[in-house]
């Protein structure tokens, strides 16, 4: 089938099989920023935003994206760069393979937390929100330090 | 997952026709179907049927089959009625990126042993509304053998009950080793246990032992736990053995009961 | 010791950080050409079988299938996949494809097609007739079993490692220092215990991937997610039977390695397809394949007999190890050796030490290199044992350790006797702040000898436990690293290294070392790494070698470069080199007279000054004469739910002596990441095999690694020392973090429930069982009776 949707605000038509994982379709179409590590929904590396909501693109079939808006990390360049600067300054990322999915989920989290009116950064809530974003290198501590500083700089 | 033909009907009659009359495969979130990976000859995507809602309908809360786990978790309506029950029960299902996909309908229709949602729904004595096929209590549905095709439209939850959830996992995002929900209503208690690893089941004896008391004491809670552990069957899987589950069952049932007693 | 650094010892951001965070295509599979053939592997469904016939005809008839290769189509040359120096200490005990399959997941045939679906279809159409053989699945029964995993005659070792395939022994070893029996009988207390560790999976987030193509000269170019491009080039050439000169191996960014990519796993398959079809070929393993068919940590059974006196003197340890290498013997001997050589020197005052055992073949997937590399297994046994002895003689576990542990200026006989593949090297420890690590750690965790466990509410017990550890810094006299610096127009430098950044940030710290030595800014060093055609030789990233070995090579190269620059200026101004000073920007002559600057020099030497024109460059290499160990103390605070057996890790304190931290942030993240993997091994990562040898825990749904919700606070501090032989005083930090959690957590669990858990992982059911079976004696911290004292 031809999947019509937008990727990072650009209308695209992607050749695919309806049951293919959206992650595979996006990678094949050149969106290499969508990583894949487990293929079973456990690691969060393949996270994209589908109509602004984070979903595991390995666990959603391509046809489901018909007519909808996909955002990859490349579609949130500015925000990713801002949060990315904190992550880099903290030395929080190692191999970086998990970073695009992590940053995208963290940005979605920021929006949700703000909408809920969170004031001080709630680390436990953040750990819970991001629990599905696995990282085997970093031990997570640096991620959390970076997020706290980022949050405080922007919402403090 | 290989899907030979894919359709996305926009009304329930059409979907019903495809699923129930023609035997096509309904897709809820599709996450589980993807991970199982079996080829599907004819798939019917339920996403355009307007089944994604959580709302009050008469004396019930109606949860549309396409409501996602995260919808349930974040619903202020459910929070008002049940407190932290849903976030506590469902918050451990993988990460938000999966909970944003998986649906209430898929979890119920799949009858998964690991399903926390089924444990909660069973304890709450929820009913299932099948499109064109009437309404049945969840307990009856789970008790009957898997049968012919159906289209689950929504789930009805009572408004007048309190329930609390207790579960155990290895890692936070792993599947549960055991899950328990204790529900207190005017008529009495209902206690459900899932991930045995078999599908959620009611512990009638444990519920009955509590009678209609609102705040059972320590000894009653412990006793109910012991009864529950004795009246259910448990098995082994990758995560734990039967004896362990039985023992944890008594502990978690007691904790769940105590939790509502204290909360009220 | 000059500590006024300007570039090293500073937390610069990783040079590739922002690009990776934004998801720029940088990893192997991101870079594979779109028109490459997709390579998939047909794998064995049986743990042990002989292939009687393979019928490829139906599969070959599928449109879009480019080639299918089986064991008859590939060179039959015994080789090893272990990325190690030459000659490899691992036996050459496998072929690219063989007519025997030795574990579920072993490769049977290579299929290349235009796309993945076609390749998969072809795989399903290959008909293989197997003669199913009885598998050998119990490693404790492997030696002299009637089942022989490797009956073939061509396989061999490269030098004596105790290789006896007829007895299912891949390697064996034995050593003794002093009179073990005498010391045991002279000790007040003698304990004998057995410990078991599991075949932990690496779970690097990027699955193994490679692609191959032929360049215009017909040379084979392999791009691969490898930790050791040069070893890969050599092993691959040998296994394919082609000259090393006809191969080039390039490593792009890697999505984690942890030892899992210190092997060749997929490279031979794409290489063969590229050679056979003259087209590009790519492969990326699925997570299931990574679990089932790449390597794991060596499963071990470690028996220790130890003797001590009641006054706290540890006299003797006799350690016997049985290690399961699975179907093939990659890293069999060396991992086994490290289980002793990087643990026993911690207690260097013992009068006698015995160490020995065997590494055996079974029909499970192979074991290989994995961060910690035997030391974590050994540490779990040794440090559990230390607590047991301390308990037995009624001494605080810390005090017992402090009385017996190694200190700065001391040595251990073990260093000399035990190396990795053969003998070790003598080494006096010039930097060791283990005492400070312990002192600071006990302060941070709030250690109180009289109260190692306490009840916070009925049935909920908290406890402390600790362990100490050491590692190495490269393999002395074996590991070698090199670097080349070259001045470029505009006054910046190209730094070419063979070192392999696996995500550790080593490219960044090597640039920091070069910049510091040259006196230039880090932005003036551009790193190009890990391309066998363009990088100078380096063994690769393993054995905690990069900072120490490659770092020293870079330091030597940069100091040589300074000399080259000064000499060029001296020549230009007809001065003696001693009279020229360089401050990183400008060159000064006698009396501080300004001569020229780096930018002008670069243009002069490359374009302007006919007399001077040349490329200013330097190259140097480094091989360690020793491997100064980093040290650490790890402290766990746990909470045990006596009702469910669930252990929660509330806090982990790690105080590490890794010499100077070249980049403190990156050093810290190395430790934090290592800790988490150790914590995973201790608490979560359960490996289950089915009766017929199938790995049941073969996906991330079934094999849970810790998420960020599973750990509480992790506190890492450094007790910095200065290692005179290291670059700017640095030692290694890549592995040390992983070693302590299994023992520290086991010790904490003991303190909580009074039961010693001898086997990882300590999942709730295991702890629950221990609580149930425990007969609370008078020495337990509290009389715990889970049935009567039901927790809330
Ligand atoms: C990584 C991961 C971890 C998970 N962990 C947990 C966990 O810890 N606990 C837990 O409870 N669950 C867990 N799940 C499962 C999840 O909660 C859902 O139960 C599961 O994914 C099914 O939901 P779905 O929407 O994906 O179903 P689908 O795959 O869409 O459907 C499942 C089945 O139900 C049928 N079906 C779907 N909707 C209807 C309908 N309206 N009418 C009739 N039939 C229907 C489908 O035909 C199919 O047979 C996990 C899932 C993943 C991917
Ligand atoms: S690849 Fe999608 S969640 Fe792991
Ligand atoms: S940085 Fe490597 S997986 Fe997260």
Average pLDDT, chain B: 96
Q: At what angle do helices C375-392 and C397-404 cross, to 10 degrees?
A: 110
Contact between C14 and A131 using a beta-carbon 8 Å cutoff: no
Contact between C21 and A45 using a beta-carbon 8 Å cutoff: no
What is the model's pLDDT at position C237? 98
Distance (Å, whole) CA A41 – CA A33? 17
Is the peptide bond preceding residue A70 cis, with omega within 30 degrees of 0? no
Alpha helices, DSSP H only, in C132-281? 180-186, 229-240, 267-277
Contact status, residue C418 vs residue C343, Cβ threshold 8 Å: no
Q: What is the DSSP letter of C531?
A: B
Please name the residue whose Cα sits nearest to atom 43 of ligand 1: B151
CA distance to partner chain B, nearest, from residue A12 (Å): 20
Token couple for B111: 């009858």
H or E segment at B3?
strand B3-7
Q: What is the DSSP letter of C330?
A: T
Q: Name beta bridge partners: C38.
A: C113, C282
pLDDT at C773 over 90: no
CA distance to partner chain A, nearest, from residue C379 (Å): 21
Q: How confident is the model at residue C419 (pLDDT cuts 50, 70, 90)?
A: confident
Nearest atom, ligand 2, residue B95 CA: 3
Query: Is the CB of A38 within 6 Å of ligand 2?
Result: yes
Indicate whether A66 and A99 sit together in one domain.
no
CA distances from residue C344 to C369, C385, C471 in whole angstroms, order as listed: 20, 12, 11
Centre of ligand 1 to C-alpha B69, Å, is: 10
Contact status, residue B103 vs residue B111, Cβ threshold 8 Å: no
Centre of ligand 1 to C-alpha B187, Å, is: 32
Query: Is the CB of A97 within 6 Å of ligand 3?
Result: yes
Distance (Å, whole) CA C595 – CA C606? 18
Contact between C23 and A72 using a beta-carbon 8 Å cutoff: yes
Mean pLDDT in residue range C125-144 = 98
Mutate to test the pocket of ligand 3, among A91, A135, A139 (most ligand atoms within 8 A of CB): A135
CB atoms within 10 A of CB C709: 21
pLDDT at C116 over 60: yes
ipTM of the complex: 0.97
Query: Is the CB of A96 within 6 Å of ligand 2?
Result: no
Share of chain C above pLDDT 90, in %: 94
Share of chain C above pLDDT 70, in %: 97
CATH of the domain at A81: 1.10.150.120
Query: Is the CB of A41 within 6 Å of ligand 2?
Result: yes
CATH number of this structure's domain B161-263, picked from the four choices 3.30.565.10, 3.30.750.24, 3.30.390.50, 3.90.25.10 = 3.30.390.50
User: How does strand C647-657 pair with strand C711-718?
Assistant: parallel
Indicate whether A69 and A83 sit together in one domain.
no
What is the model's pLDDT at position C697? 97
Indicate whether A96 and A130 sit together in one domain.
yes
Give the CATH number of domain B54-158: 3.30.465.10
Question: What's chain A's length in residues?
Answer: 156
| Angle in degrees, CA C121, C127, C133, rounded to 5 | 125
Distance (Å, whole) CA C12 – CA C9? 9
Q: Which residue in the block uniquely carries the two structure tokens 């509502």?
A: B260
Is the peptide bond preceding residue B185 cis, with omega within 30 degrees of 0? no
Contact between C790 and B254 using a beta-carbon 8 Å cutoff: yes
pLDDT in tens, A98-143: 999 999 999 999 999 999 999 999 999 999 999 999 999 999 999 9
pLDDT in tens, C592-612: 999 999 999 999 999 999 888
pLDDT in tens, C714-760: 999 999 999 999 999 999 999 999 999 999 999 999 999 999 999 99
End-to-end, the C-alpha distance of chain B in Å comes to 47
pLDDT at B51 over 90: yes
Q: Which residue in the block uniquely carries the two structure tokens 């209308």?
A: A11
Distance (Å, whole) CA C471 – CA C627? 9
Centre of ligand 1 to C-alpha B29, Å, is: 7
Mean pLDDT in residue range C74-78 = 98
Q: How confident is the model at residue B263 (pLDDT cuts 50, 70, 90)?
A: low
3-state secondary structure of C711: strand
Q: Select from A28, A43, A74 the last residue of a domain.
A: A74
CA dihedral A31, A37, A41, A42 (to 10 degrees): -140
Nearest atom, ligand 1, residue A41 CA: 1
Mean pLDDT in residue range A73-97 = 95
Contact between B170 and C792 using a beta-carbon 8 Å cutoff: no
Q: What is the DSSP letter of A78?
A: H
> What contacts 24+ positions apart, CB below 8 Å, involve C409-416?
C410/C348, C411/C348, C412/C344, C412/C345, C412/C348, C413/C177, C413/C348, C413/C353, C414/C177, C414/C340, C414/C341, C414/C344, C414/C345, C414/C348, C414/C353, C414/C355, C415/C341, C415/C345
Query: Is the CB of C205 within 6 Å of ligand 3?
Result: yes
What single string gives the DSSP state of each residue in C432-493?
Answer: --HHHHHHHHHHHHT--TT-SEEEEETTEEEEEEEEEEE--SS-TTT-EEEEEEEEETTTEE
CB atoms within 10 A of CB C501: 28
Centre of ligand 3 to C-alpha A93, Å, is: 6
Contact status, residue C460 vs residue C641, Cβ threshold 8 Å: yes
3-state secondary structure of A98: coil
Nearest CA in chain A to C503: A95
pLDDT at C787 over 70: no
Distance (Å, whole) CA B205 – CA C656? 56
CATH of the domain at A51: 3.10.20.30
Indicate whether A137 and A112 sit together in one domain.
yes
3-state secondary structure of C69: strand
Nearest CA in chain C to B259: C792
Nearest to A66 by CA among A25, A124, A123: A25
Q: Tally A–B CB contacts below 8 A.
A: 93
pLDDT in tens, B168-184: 999 999 999 999 999 99
Looking at the whole model, is its pTM more than 0.90? yes
Domain boundaries, chain B: 3-45, 54-158, 161-263
Average pLDDT, chain C: 95
Nearest to C71 by CA among C57, C50, C87: C50
Query: Is the CB of A39 within 6 Å of ligand 2?
Result: yes
User: How does strand C314-326 pair with strand C299-308?
Assistant: antiparallel
What single string gives the DSSP state of each residue in B75-144?
Answer: -HHHHHHHTTHHHHHHTTSS-HHHHTT-BHHHHHHHT-TT-HHHHHHHHTT-EEEETTTEEEEHHHHHHS
Token couple for C608: 């302007």
Distance (Å, whole) CA B136 – CA B139? 8
Mutate to test the pocket of ligand 2, among A24, A56, A99 (most ligand atoms within 8 A of CB): A56
pLDDT at C683 over 80: yes
Q: Select from A46, A74, A102 the last residue of a domain.
A: A74
Q: How confident is the model at residue A155 (pLDDT cuts 50, 70, 90)?
A: confident
Is the peptide bond preceding residue B197 cis, with omega within 30 degrees of 0? yes
- Domains in chain C with CATH codes: 17-23+480-622 (3.30.365.10), 32-133+205-256+261-293 (3.90.1170.50), 299-475+626-773 (3.30.365.10)
B161-263 matches B54-158 in CATH topology: no
Query: Is the CB of A28 within 6 Å of ligand 3?
Result: no
How many structural domains compose chain A?
A: 2
Indicate whether A14 and A64 sit together in one domain.
yes
Indicate whether A84 and A36 sit together in one domain.
no
Query: Which of A17, A53, A130 comes nearest B100 by C-beta?
Result: A53
Q: What is the DSSP letter of C263?
A: B
Q: Which of residues 53-72 of B touch A (CB under 8 A)?
A: none
pLDDT at A12 over 80: yes
CA distances from residue A37 to A7, B170, C208, C288 in whole angstroms, order as listed: 21, 21, 10, 10
Indicate whether A97 and A130 sit together in one domain.
yes
Query: Which of B1, B91, B97 comes nearest A61 by C-beta?
Result: B1
pLDDT at C2 over 80: no
Domain containing A15: what range?
Answer: 2-74
User: How does strand C220-224 pair with strand C247-250?
Assistant: parallel
Nearest to C533 by CA among C250, C217, C243: C250
Centre of ligand 2 to C-alpha A35, Å, is: 8
The residues, ordered by sequence, that sit 6+ positions from C295 with a Cβ below 8 Å of its Cβ are C202, C260, C263, C265, C326, C330, C365, C366, C367, C368, C369, C370
Number of the ligand closest to the Cα of C669:
3
Which chain A residues have a beta carbon less than 8 Å from that of B101? 41, 55-56, 59-60
Contact between C21 and A80 using a beta-carbon 8 Å cutoff: yes
What is the model's pLDDT at position C782? 40
Which chain B residues have a beta carbon less than 8 Å from that of A130? 95
Indicate whether A70 and A11 sit together in one domain.
yes
Token couple for C174: 């034995």
pLDDT at C402 over 60: yes
Q: How confident is the model at residue A83 (pLDDT cuts 50, 70, 90)?
A: very high
pLDDT in tens, C273-303: 999 999 999 999 999 999 999 999 999 999 9
Q: Select from A19, A46, A74 the last residue of a domain.
A: A74
Contact status, residue C395 vs residue C387, Cβ threshold 8 Å: no
Mean pLDDT in residue range C643-672 = 97
Contact between B222 and C684 using a beta-carbon 8 Å cutoff: no
CA distances from residue C182 to C185, C190, C314, C346, C392 in whole angstroms, order as listed: 5, 12, 14, 22, 21
Indicate whether A88 and A59 sit together in one domain.
no
Indicate whether A133 and A150 sit together in one domain.
yes
What is the model's pLDDT at position A121? 95
pLDDT at C780 over 80: no
Token couple for B85: 């029950």
Residue of B25, B45, B75, B96 to mutate for A, most A C-beta atoms under 10 A: B96
Nearest CA in chain A to C289: A38
Mutate to test the pocket of ligand 1, among A59, A61, A63, A132 (most ligand atoms within 8 A of CB): A59
3-state secondary structure of B191: strand
- Higher-confidence position of B66 and B148: B66
pLDDT in tens, C28-45: 999 999 999 999 999 999
Q: How confident is the model at residue C783 (pLDDT cuts 50, 70, 90)?
A: very low
pLDDT at B194 over 70: yes
Query: Is the CB of A131 within 6 Å of ligand 3?
Result: no
Distance (Å, whole) CA C667 – CA C415? 26
């Amino acid at each position: 089938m031809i999947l019509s949707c937008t990727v990072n605000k650009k209308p695209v038509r992607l050749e695919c099989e309806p049951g293919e994982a959206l992650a595979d379709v996006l990678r094949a179409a050149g969106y290499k920023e969508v990583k894949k590590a487990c293929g079973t929904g456990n690691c969060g590396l393949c996270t994209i935003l589908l109509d602004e909501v984070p979903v595991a693109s390995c666990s959603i079939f391509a046809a489901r994206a018909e007519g909808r808006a996909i955002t990859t990390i490349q579609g949130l360049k500015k925000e990713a760069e801002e949060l990315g600067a904190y992550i880099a300054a903290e030395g929080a990322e190692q191999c970086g393979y998990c970073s695009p999915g992590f940053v995208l989920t963290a940005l979605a989290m920021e929006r949700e937390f703000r909408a809920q009116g969170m004031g001080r950064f709630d680390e436990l809530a953040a750990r819970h929100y991001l629990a599905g974003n696995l990282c085997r290198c970093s031990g997570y501590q640096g991620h959390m330090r970076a997020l706290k500083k980022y949050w405080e700089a922007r919402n403090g | 997952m290989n899907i030979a033909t894919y359709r996305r009907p926009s009304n329930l009659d059409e979907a019903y026709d495809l699923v129930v009359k023609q035997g096509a495969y309904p897709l809820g979130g599709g996450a589980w179907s993807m991970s199982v990976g079996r080829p599907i000859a004819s798939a019917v995507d339920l996403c355009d049927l307007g089944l994604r809602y959580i709302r009050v309908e008469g004396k019930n809360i109606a949860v549309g089959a396409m409501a996602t786990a995260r919808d349930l978790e974040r619903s202020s309506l459910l929070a008002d009625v049940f407190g932290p029950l849903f976030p506590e029960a469902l918050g451990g299902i993988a990460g938000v990126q999966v909970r944003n996909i998986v649906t209430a309908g898929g979890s119920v229709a799949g009858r998964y042993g690991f399903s926390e949602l089924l444990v909660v729904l069973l304890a709450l004595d929820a009913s299932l509304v099948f499109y064109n096929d009437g309404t049945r209590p969840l307990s009856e549905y789970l008790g009957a053998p898997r049968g012919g095709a159906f289209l689950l439209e929504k789930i009805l939850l009572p408004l007048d009950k309190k329930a609390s959830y207790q579960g155990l996992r290895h890692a936070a995002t792993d599947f549960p080793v055991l899950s328990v929900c204790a529900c207190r209503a005017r008529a009495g208690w209902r206690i459900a246990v899932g991930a045995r690893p078999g599908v959620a089941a009611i512990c009638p004896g444990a519920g009955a032992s509590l009678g209609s008391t609102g705040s059972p004491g320590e000894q009653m809670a412990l006793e109910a736990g012991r009864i529950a552990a004795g009246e259910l069957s448990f098995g082994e899987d990758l995560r734990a053995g039967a004896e362990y589950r039985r023992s944890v069952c008594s502990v978690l049932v007691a904790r769940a009961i105590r939790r509502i007693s204290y909360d009220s | 010791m000059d500590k006024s650094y300007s570039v090293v010892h500073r937390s610069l951001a990783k040079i590739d950080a922002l690009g990776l965070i934004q998801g720029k295509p940088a990893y192997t599979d991101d870079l594979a050409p779109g028109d490459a053939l997709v390579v998939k592997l047909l794998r064995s469904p049986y743990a042990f079988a002989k292939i009687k016939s393979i019928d490829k005809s139906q599969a070959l008839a599928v449109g879009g299938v480019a080639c299918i290769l089986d064991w008859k189509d590939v060179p039959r040359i015994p080789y090893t996949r272990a990325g190690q120096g030459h000659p490899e200490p691992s036996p050459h005990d496998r072929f690219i494809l063989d007519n025997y399959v030795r574990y579920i997941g072993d490769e049977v045939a290579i299929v290349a097609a235009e796309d993945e679906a076609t390749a998969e279809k072809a795989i399903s159409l290959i008909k293989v007739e197997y003669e199913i053989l009885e598998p050998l699945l119990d490693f404790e029964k492997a030696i002299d079993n009637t089942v022989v995993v490797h009956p073939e005659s061509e396989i061999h070792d490269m030098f004596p490692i105790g290789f006896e395939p007829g007895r299912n022994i891949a390697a064996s070893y034995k050593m003794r220092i002093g009179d073990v029996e005498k010391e045991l009988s002279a000790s007040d207390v003698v304990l004998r215990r057995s410990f078991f560790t599991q075949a932990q999976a690496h779970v690097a987030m990027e699955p193994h991937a490679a692609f191959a193509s032929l360049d215009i000269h017909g040379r084979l170019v392999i791009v691969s997610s490898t930790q050791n491009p040069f070893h890969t080039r050599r092993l691959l050439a040998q296994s394919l039977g082609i000259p090393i000169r006809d191969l080039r191996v390039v490593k792009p960014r890697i999505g984690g390695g942890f030892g899992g990519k210190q092997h060749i796993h997929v490279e031979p398959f794409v290489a063969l397809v590229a050679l056979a079809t003259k087209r590009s070929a790519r492969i990326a393993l699925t997570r299931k394949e990574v679990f089932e068919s790449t390597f794991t940590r060596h499963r071990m059974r470690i028996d220790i007999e130890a003797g001590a006196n009641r006054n706290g003197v540890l006299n003797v340890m006799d350690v016997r190890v049985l290690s399961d290498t699975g179907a093939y013997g990659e890293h069999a001997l060396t991992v086994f050796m490290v289980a002793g050589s990087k643990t026993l020197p911690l207690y260097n005052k013992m009068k006698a030490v015995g160490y020995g055992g065997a590494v055996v073949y079974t029909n499970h997937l192979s074991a290989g290199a994995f961060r910690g590399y035997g030391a974590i297994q050994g540490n779990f046994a040794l440090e559990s044992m230390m607590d047991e002895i301390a308990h037995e003689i009624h001494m605080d576990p810390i005090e017992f350790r402090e009385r017996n542990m190694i200190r700065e200026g001391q040595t251990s006989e073990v260093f000399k006797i035990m190396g990795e593949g053969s003998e070790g090297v003598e080494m006096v420890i010039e930097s060791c702040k283990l005492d400070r690590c312990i002192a600071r750690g006990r302060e941070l965790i709030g250690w109180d000898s009289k109260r190692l466990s306490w009840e916070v509410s009925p049935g909920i017990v908290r406890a402390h436990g600790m362990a100490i550890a050491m590692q190495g810094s490269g393999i002395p006299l074996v590991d070698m690293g090199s670097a080349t610096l070259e001045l470029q127009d505009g006054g910046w430098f190209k730094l070419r290294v063979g070192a392999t950044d696996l995500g550790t940030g080593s490219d960044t710290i090597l640039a920091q070392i070069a910049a510091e030595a040259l006196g230039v800014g880090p932005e003036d060093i551009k790193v190009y790494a890990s391309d066998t055609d363009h990088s100078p030789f380096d063994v690769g990233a393993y054995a905690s070698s990069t900072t120490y070995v490659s770092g020293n090579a870079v330091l030597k190269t940069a100091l040589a470069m300074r000399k080259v620059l000064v000499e060029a200026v001296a020549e230009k101004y007809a001065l003696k080199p001693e009279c020229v000073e360089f401050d990183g920007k400008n060159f000064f002559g006698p009396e501080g007279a300004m001569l020229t600057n780096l930018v002008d020099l670069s243009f002069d030497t490359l374009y302007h000054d006919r007399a001077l024109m040349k490329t200013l460059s330097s190259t140097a290499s480094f091989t360690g004469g020793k491997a100064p160990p980093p040290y650490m103390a790890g402290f766990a605070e746990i909470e045990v739910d006596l009702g469910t057996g669930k252990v929660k890790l509330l806090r982990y304190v790690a105080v590490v002596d890794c010499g100077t931290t070249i980049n403190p942030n990156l050093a810290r993240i190395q430790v934090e990441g290592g800790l988490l993997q150790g914590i995973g091994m201790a608490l979560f990562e359960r490996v289950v095999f089915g009766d017929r040898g199938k790995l049941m825990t073969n996906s991330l749904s079934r094999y849970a690694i810790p998420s960020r919700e599973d750990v509480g606070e992790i506190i890492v501090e450094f007790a910095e020392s200065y290692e005179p032989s290291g670059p700017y005083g640095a030692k290694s930090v890549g592995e040390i973090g992983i070693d302590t959690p299994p023992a520290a957590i086991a010790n904490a669990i003991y303190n909580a429930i009074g039961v010693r858990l001898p086997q990882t992982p300590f999942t709730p059911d295991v702890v629950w069982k221990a609580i149930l079976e425990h007969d609370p004696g008078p020495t337990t911290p509290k009389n715990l009776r889970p049935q009567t004292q039901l927790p809330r």
